[in-house]
Amino acid sequence: MRKIKIGMLGLGTVGSGVFKTLKRFDNVEIVKISVKNIDRPRNIEGLDKSILTTDAYTIINDPSIDIFVEVIGGVEPAWEYISAAIKAGKHIVTANKELLAKKGKELFELAEKYNKVVLYEAAIAGGIPLIMPLKTIMAGNDITNIQAILNGTTNYILTKMDVDGASYEDVLKEAQELGYAETDPTGDVEGFDAMYKITTLSTIAFGKRVDVNKVYREGITKLKSEDMKQANELGYKIKLVANASMDKLGRVDVRVHPTLVPSNSTLAHINYVTNAVGMTGFPIGEILLSGPGAGEFPTASSVIGDILNIAAEIDTTDYPLPMMRCNHSEEADMIPIAETYNKYYISITAPNNTGVIGKIGTICANKNISLSSIIQKGVSDNNTANITVITEVCKEADIQSAISELKDCKINSLIRVM
């Protein structure tokens, strides 16, 4: 059996983990790695700098290389190099969630045209196995709902805000110092990272292409420590939840936003940088997979699994890994957020006037919104009342309309409730 040759694009955190771990296997070998700076210090024992290059096309144009591994992230130049590698006859392993969400259709159509396999287990939840199980052992299931925590940075921040009672700003600074958050944390804290991941995951689970541009996204930057405290008192935890569901008509609702999760649920106890994915379907029922969603070796675990799966197929078949290929072309009919139905937590600061609670109740009633609870907690020095409202299930458009009529009130927080 010949040794399968691999070229890799990127040698950062994930790439380093792949390189270190793959040396344990005799049937595969990384023969060339494209990097930005060959002389950059790297914590990799035994790295032969002669395999490093700054020109990705030396990998792409090398006919002896079988698998092209991309671990740099972003759409460009990753798409340029991956598409060129496919045309040059190479199979692809990628951890690139943004590329998959934005260019998935083009990527898989190109791969099929050239009879190449694209595997991407690491792109959704780091070391948690999701794509392979969905496409193989769970292939006979009709998945109808996904509720997931897919971003370790935001989960760390929310956990620390909850446990320590600290502000978002203070915890973000700490997360940056510990290396859990980037210098520019926008991709994580504004929900983009989780949005890219749930787009691809729901596309696979539902067998329909989900348009990332139609996925509702809301980050955690507006959350306050007071919200965490209030949620605890009401029997909830606040998590950034990536949610996807399909109704009986086959329409798909995909979104990412802060959510009040019941404290007695498993998802409420997924803390710090841990990720978790809960799925509901038939015949499996409910299943939850949890583990490290990022990091050098957890993510490398998924990348290496994909590499070994492809390597085992090379030279053995003319059409490798048919079950792992894209097998759908239907575009999902997506439900706009305004047409969704949810429960809501609303934190309100209102003038301490007679009848203010009655006014809130009347406005909600006129918008077909039933209230589960409405609580006033004391009066501030400036004669304003702090009011917390929990609604029953109602339409998003109706809750937004009701809020627009609360002109004398300040809406501190509006958070959807699981």
| Same domain (yes/no): 211, 111 | no
pLDDT band at residue 5 using 50, 70 and 90 as cut-offs: very high
- Quick: pLDDT tens for 113-134: 999 999 999 999 999 999 999 9
| Same domain (yes/no): 211, 71 | no
- Does the pLDDT value for residue 166 go beyond 80? yes
| Residue the block writes with tokens 């994580």 | 188
| Same domain (yes/no): 85, 20 | yes
Confirm whether 72 is domain-assigned: yes
- Does the pLDDT value for residue 281 go beyond 90? yes
Confirm whether 150 is domain-assigned: yes
Confirm whether 405 is domain-assigned: yes
| Same domain (yes/no): 139, 68 | no
* Averaged pLDDT score across all residues of the chain: 95
Distance from C-alpha of 116 to C-alpha of 43, rounded to nearest angstrom: 33
Q: State how beta strands 52-53 and 67-70 pair.
A: unpaired
Comparing 378 with 89, which gets the higher pLDDT? Answer: 89
Ramachandran angles phi, psi of 26, nearest 5°: -85, -20
- Does the pLDDT value for residue 328 go beyond 90? no
CA distance to 5, 44, 96, 271, 293, per residue, from 126 (Å) = 24, 21, 11, 16, 4
Using DSSP, how many helices (H) and how many strands (E) does the chain show?
14, 17
Name the β-bridge partners of 286.
280
- Does the pLDDT value for residue 69 go beyond 90? yes
Confirm whether 281 is domain-assigned: yes
CATH code: domain of residue 225: 3.30.360.10
CATH code: domain of residue 371: 3.30.70.260
pLDDT band at residue 35 using 50, 70 and 90 as cut-offs: very high
Q: Considering Cα of 178, then 183, then 173, then 223, what sign does the dihedral take?
A: negative
Task: Write down which residue in 292, 316, 351 finishes a domain.
Answer: 292
CA distance to 104, 237, 300, 414, per residue, from 252 (Å) = 18, 26, 32, 23
Q: H or E element: which one contains 7? A: strand 4-9
| Same domain (yes/no): 181, 269 | yes
Confirm whether 333 is domain-assigned: no
- Quick: pLDDT tens for 352-377: 888 889 999 999 999 999 999 999 88
Q: How many CB atoms lie within 10 A of CB 5?
A: 20
Give the pLDDT of residue 355: 86
| Same domain (yes/no): 139, 216 | yes
pLDDT, mean of residues 80-89: 98
| Same domain (yes/no): 381, 356 | yes
| Same domain (yes/no): 285, 318 | no
| Same domain (yes/no): 139, 58 | no
DSSP H helices in 270-339: 296-313
| Same domain (yes/no): 76, 110 | yes
Comparing 93 with 385, which gets the higher pLDDT? Answer: 93
Q: H or E element: which one contains 278? A: strand 274-282
Give the pLDDT of residue 298: 94
Work out the burial of residue 63: count CB atoms within 10 Å of its CB; fewer than 13 is exposed, 13-18 middle, 19 or more buried: exposed
- Does the pLDDT value for residue 378 go beyond 80? no
Q: Where in the sequence is the domain holding 229, given as residue range(s)?
A: 131-292
Q: How many CB atoms lie within 10 A of CB 220?
A: 23
| Same domain (yes/no): 222, 302 | no
Question: For the chain, what is the domain count?
Answer: 3
| Residue the block writes with tokens 């957890």 | 298
Give the pLDDT of residue 113: 97
Give the pLDDT of residue 416: 98
pLDDT, mean of residues 282-291: 97
pLDDT, mean of residues 346-352: 92
CA distance to 26, 205, 211, per residue, from 144 (Å) = 41, 8, 18
Confirm whether 332 is domain-assigned: no
DSSP one-letter code for 349: E
Confirm whether 24 is domain-assigned: yes
Give the pLDDT of residue 352: 85
CA distance to 244, 256, 268, per residue, from 147 (Å) = 7, 10, 11
Give the pLDDT of residue 407: 86
pLDDT band at residue 185 using 50, 70 and 90 as cut-offs: very high
Confirm whether 331 is domain-assigned: no
Ramachandran angles phi, psi of 101, nearest 5°: -70, -35
- Quick: pLDDT tens for 394-404: 999 999 999 99
Give the pLDDT of residue 94: 98
pLDDT, mean of residues 85-95: 98
Catalytic residues: 197
CATH code: domain of residue 103: 3.40.50.720
Give the pLDDT of residue 46: 83
| Same domain (yes/no): 140, 53 | no
Which two three-digit tokens encode residue 165? 């009672």
